[in-house]
Structure 1
Amino acid sequence: MFDMQLPWWEFIVRGAIIYSVLLLMVRISGRRTVGQFRPFDLLVVMLLSESVSNSLSGSDESVSGGLIVAATLIALNTLVAAATARSRKLATLVDGTPILLGRDGQIFHDARRSARITEGDIEQALHEADCTLEDVQYIFLESDGGISILQKKSAEPGKP
């Protein structure tokens, strides 16, 4: 149970390589992977996890090997979070920047399509913001995959 088939340091190296590659793949795949999971998105994440499990452990089934890999992944995640909190450039590289999807009641369909956002996603965000497209000043796709709606300021005092 605790007898490892591989040297302890190999688990750390394997964990670091898999973490780095998966971070890059998730970043490239777009914001929808990170932000708003749909059933097929969740399925992809689960299958992705399963597909790299043997790569992480090198077919070692010991408790010690699994704990070393888990500790390595948590440590790397903590380091990336700390580094992105301290460096704006690194945060932009890892997290990306918001994308302008619309302005002044107009949706930028090229930006929407390239970000793989459906019109239904924008309509849902409008409903959640309790406004119509005509009330919109800006629509942003945030780095976390959420859609933010900024409404136009009303010319009449006392109105939102």
Structure 2
Amino acid sequence: MWTDLTHLDISVLDKIIRTVVVYLALIVLLRLAGKRDLAQLNSFDLIVILLLSNVVQNAVIGPDNSLIGGLIGAAVLIAANAVIVRFLRRRSSDRVRDIIEGHTTILAKDGRWDPKALREEGVRQSDMEAALRRQNAYKVDDVDQVKLEPGGTIVVYLRPELESATRADVRRLEAKLDLLLGG
């Protein structure tokens, strides 16, 4: 029993190389698929991600089904991710970061959708309208700008007159009112 759990059917170096190559290949494939797939998953995207993990499993583990082999693969995957994320944050140029992560895309400006940007990013206008509602905009006319960030996050900037007041805004108005009223 212990032999089945601990005996590696392939070398540690082979396991490391397999894991890193599959990881890098998935980065490229997901980057080519677009930003939407990373953060705004719909049912179809979720199914693809789940199946993708099963499809590449054998490429990562090879003929090795041992516990130790699985733990080595997991450790290498986490380490490779940590190294790449830290490299991108600290040492890479904007150009390298744009190639690997992408760049911010403006999907709407001044209350109008940019059909070309929506098409290039592979997002549907109806999905974006749902994202607007989640961020307190009811229609595209309400927004100054809608951005799709490299990680797939949708950021909505309301027109200034539609933005909610903060407590600091209210305090400033109260202070001005006190000055005007002599209080």
Question: Equivalents in 2 of 1:80, 1:47: separation in Å?
Answer: 24
Mean Cα deviation higher: 136-145 or 85-94: 85-94
Question: Equivalents in 2 of 1:102, 1:76: separation in Å?
Answer: 36
Shift of 1:88: 4.4
Please say if 1:151 is aligned against 2:151.
Answer: no
Q: Which residue of 2 aligns with 1:93?
A: 99
Q: Deviations over 1:26-75 (max 9, x none)?
A: 11111121111122211111111111111111121111111111111010
Please say if 1:127 is aligned against 2:136.
Answer: no
Please say if 1:4 is aligned against 2:37.
Answer: no
Consecutive unaligned residues in structure 2, runs of 5 or more? 170-183
Paired residue secondary structure (1:61): coil
Question: Equivalents in 1 of 2:154, 2:47: separation in Å?
Answer: 23
Consecutive unaligned residues in structure 1, runs of 5 or more? none
Please say if 1:141 is aligned against 2:145.
Answer: no
Identity of aligned residues (%): 30
Q: Which residue of 1 aligns with 2:177?
A: none
Paired residue secondary structure (1:60): coil
Question: Equivalents in 2 of 1:122, 1:40: separation in Å?
Answer: 17
Please say if 1:57 is aligned against 2:64.
Answer: no
Aligned length: 158
- The 5 A counterparts of 1:2-41 are 2-41=6-45
Aligned partner of 2:123 among 117, 127, 130: 117
The structure number with the bigger radius of gyration is 2
Structure with more of its chain in helix, by fraction: 2
Q: Deviations over 1:90-129 (max 9, x none)?
A: 3322221111111111111111112111111221122123
Q: Which residue of 2 aligns with 1:80?
A: 84
Paired residue secondary structure (1:150): strand
Contact preservation (8 Å) 2:8, 2:69: yes
